[in-house]
Amino acid sequence: MTTPEGTGPVSPSREVPLTPDRAENWHRVHPVSPFVRGWIALAAIAYFFGRDWFEAMFRGEPLWFLTEGRGIWAVVVLLVVMLLLVGAFVLSWWFTRYQVTEEHVRVNSGILFRQHRQARLDRVQAIDVIQPLLGRIFGLAELKFEVADAGESAVRLAYLPLASAQQLRATILARASGAELDPEHPDEAPEAPEHPIVQLTPQRVVGATVLSGATVALVVVVVVIGVAAAVGYVADWGGLPVLLSALVPGMIAVAAGYWSVFSTAYNFRAAVSPDGIRLRYGLLETRAQTVPPGRVQAVAVSQPLLWRTKDWYRIKINVAGYGVSAENSGARTTLLPVGTRDEVMQMLALVLPDPGTEDPFGVFTAGLVGQNNDGGFVTSPARVRFLSFLTWRRNGFAVTETALLARSGRFVRHLAVVPHERTQSMALHQGPVARKLRVADLQLQTTVGPVSPVVYQMDIEVARRLFNEQSARAAAARRHSVPERWLERRQESVPEQEEAGMPAPAAGAAGAENGKAEDEQR
C-alpha cells in the first residue's frame, strides 16, 4: 500500500481537508504531536539519569556531577541530550503528513525509514477518536482507521486538534458510507445526529469492578496465603517472608484486574447514529469509537457468577478488520461493559435489528438464563450428564430466521449470537469419548475476535443436520447482506426462485458456496 511522496504545498494541521485533496496537496499534524507520542521516552531518560541522583541526595552524599568542577560538563551533556530530543521531535513532525482524497486517506511518516500507508474510504470499517492523558491536556486527538481485511489498523493519524479530528472523522464517514451530501456545499459534512441508548453510572461501574473475577482471585489468594501461614505457624516453619513475598505479585495482578474493568467501563456511553454505533468510554485515556452497521460479525453475552445478584451482563463482539492485537481483545471489542437485561436487549437490537422470531425477548432470555428446552433451545442428550453434569441441561442452540444462538456455561453463563450471513465456515469436532457417546461439537468461525461460537455436545445426528442446514442458511443470507457503502440505495438481488417461494439451495450446493465449510471428525 505504497503511495508516492507528496511534493506540493503542505498545510498546517488547523486546515482540515473538508473537500477532497488533490494529489499534490498534503497536511501536517499538530506540532506538539511528537511530544505527546514520545513523552514516555523522556520519562525513561529522566528516570535513568535521576534515580542515582535522588538516592544520593537522600543519603546526604554529594552529587557526583557537581564535584571537582564537573557542573559545566553536566549542563553541556544535558543540553546536548535535550537538543537531540527536540531535533528528533521536530524532524518527526516535519516528515509526518497526510491527505484525504476522494477515495483514500494517506499518511506518510518516518525519518530514516519512510512509511507510506493508505486506506480506501469505501473499505473503512470504523474510526476511533482517541485522547490519551497528554492529548486531553493539549486538546489533541488521534484518529484510528479500521480497514477491511487489514488485520490491524491500516492508518493512525496522530495528533490533530480535537475539533479538527471530529470534523475529519465526520467527513470521512460521510464519504465512506456513500451518503448523499449537498451538491451546493460538498465541503460541509456535519456530525451525524445520535440517539443515546445506554449510559453507565459510576456506582454501577464500581459495583461491577468489586463483583468482578478479580475479587474471586483476591479471595483465593488471601485464603491460600492464610492457610499456608497458619500451617507454617503451627509447624514452627520460618517461611512466612516467602509467603508474604508471594502475596505481592498476586495483589498486583488483582489490582491490575480491578483497574482494567474500572478504567474501560468508566464514563461509558452508547448511542446510535446514521454512521453506526457510537461508544465513548475511558478514565485517563478517552476513546470515541464508531462501529458502522453490518460490521459486527458475532456477539457474545456473558454473566459472571457474582453479577447474578444484580442481573448484570457483558457484551463482546467480533468486528471485521479489528484483527488479533492485544488492544482489540479488550475495551475495543466490548459493546457493553456491564448492563441490565433490558440494556442487553437494546444493544442486541442495534447489531441484530431483525431477530427473526416473533418472541425475541423470550428466546434471548432463555439463551441468557434458561436451561432444558426453554425458548425452543435444543440441548445436549441426557447420556452426557456424567461427562458434563453441571452444564448438559444448559448447553444448547436455537435457530431464528436471521441468526443462530448457542448457549453454554453454568457458573459463567454464555450466549453467542451469529447472524446467518456472517457464518464463514463451520467444523464438527468429536473426540474419542464423544464418539463413544455419539455426540459432537459444532464450531462456527467468523472474523477473528473474542467471540468463538460453539454448540457443545449435541447428538451426532442433530449436529450433522444443523451443519447442513446452517450452510444453506448462510449461503442464502449472504445474498441479502448490505453493501460496503451502507447508506447507498441497495439493488435487490433476490433470486426469482426465492421470490416465488421455492426452497433454499441443497446442502451440498450451499456447502460448496460457503467455501470453507468442513466436517472434521476427531
Q: Average pLDDT of 279-300? A: 86
**492 or 210, higher pLDDT:** 210
Reported as a single tens digit per residue, the pLDDT across 350-386 is: 888 889 999 999 999 999 999 888 889 999 999 999 8
Cβ–Cβ under 8 Å, residues 140 and 161: yes
Residue in this structure with the C-alpha cell 453467542, named with its chain if needed: 416
pLDDT at 510: 34
β-strand partners of 379: 396
- Output the CA angle 178-179-180, nearest 5 degrees: 115
Report DSSP letters for 353-391, one per residue. Answer: S--SSS-HHHHHHHHHH--TTGGG-EE--GGGTTTSTTT
pLDDT beyond 80 at 18: no
- Residue 260's Cβ-count burial label (10 Å; 0-12, 13-18, 19+) is middle
H or E segment to which residue 416 belongs: strand 413-419
Rounded Cα–Cα distance for residues 301 and 413 (Å): 8
pLDDT at 239: 56
Cβ–Cβ under 8 Å, residues 142 and 158: yes
- Average confidence score pLDDT of the chain: 78
- Residue 314's Cβ-count burial label (10 Å; 0-12, 13-18, 19+) is buried
pLDDT at 59: 61
pLDDT at 507: 34
pLDDT at 399: 96
Rounded Cα–Cα distance for residues 44 and 49 (Å): 9
pLDDT beyond 80 at 48: no
Reported as a single tens digit per residue, the pLDDT across 76-111 is: 777 887 788 788 888 888 888 888 887 888 888 888
Reported as a single tens digit per residue, the pLDDT across 228-250 is: 767 665 455 555 566 666 677 77
Q: How many CB atoms lie within 10 A of CB 196?
A: 10
Reported as a single tens digit per residue, the pLDDT across 462-497 is: 999 999 999 999 999 988 765 544 444 444 433 433
pLDDT beyond 80 at 431: yes
Amino acid symbol at 480: H
Among candidate residues 261, 267, 269, 277, the one with its CA nearest the CA of residue 314: 261
Rounded Cα–Cα distance for residues 166 and 168 (Å): 5
pLDDT beyond 80 at 182: no
HSE of 400, CA atoms in CB hemisphere, 13 A: 22
pLDDT beyond 90 at 459: yes
**Cα separation values, 107 from 128, 159, 177, Å:** 16, 12, 21
Q: Average pLDDT of 421-441? A: 93
Reported as a single tens digit per residue, the pLDDT across 122-178 is: 777 678 899 988 888 889 999 888 776 555 556 788 888 988 888 888 777 776 655
Among candidate residues 161, 126, 147, the one with its CA nearest the CA of residue 28: 161
Residue in this structure with the C-alpha cell 454464555, named with its chain if needed: 414
pLDDT band at residue 61 using 50, 70 and 90 as cut-offs: low
Report percent pLDDT > 90 for the chain: 32
**Cα separation values, 483 from 56, 152, 161, 423, Å:** 66, 22, 33, 17
pLDDT beyond 70 at 200: yes
Strand runs labelled E in 174-308: 195-199, 269-273, 276-281, 286-291, 296-303
Rounded Cα–Cα distance for residues 225 and 151 (Å): 43
pLDDT band at residue 1 using 50, 70 and 90 as cut-offs: very low
Cβ–Cβ under 8 Å, residues 380 and 392: yes
pLDDT beyond 90 at 461: yes
Rounded Cα–Cα distance for residues 195 and 5 (Å): 41
Cβ–Cβ under 8 Å, residues 348 and 335: no
Whether the CA torsion 10, 15, 21, 27 is positive or negative: it is positive
DSSP structural state of residue 111: S
- Output the CA angle 237-243-247, nearest 5 degrees: 165
Nine cell digits for residue 186: 460538498
- Output the CA angle 283-287-288, nearest 5 degrees: 135
H or E segment to which residue 79 belongs: helix 71-94
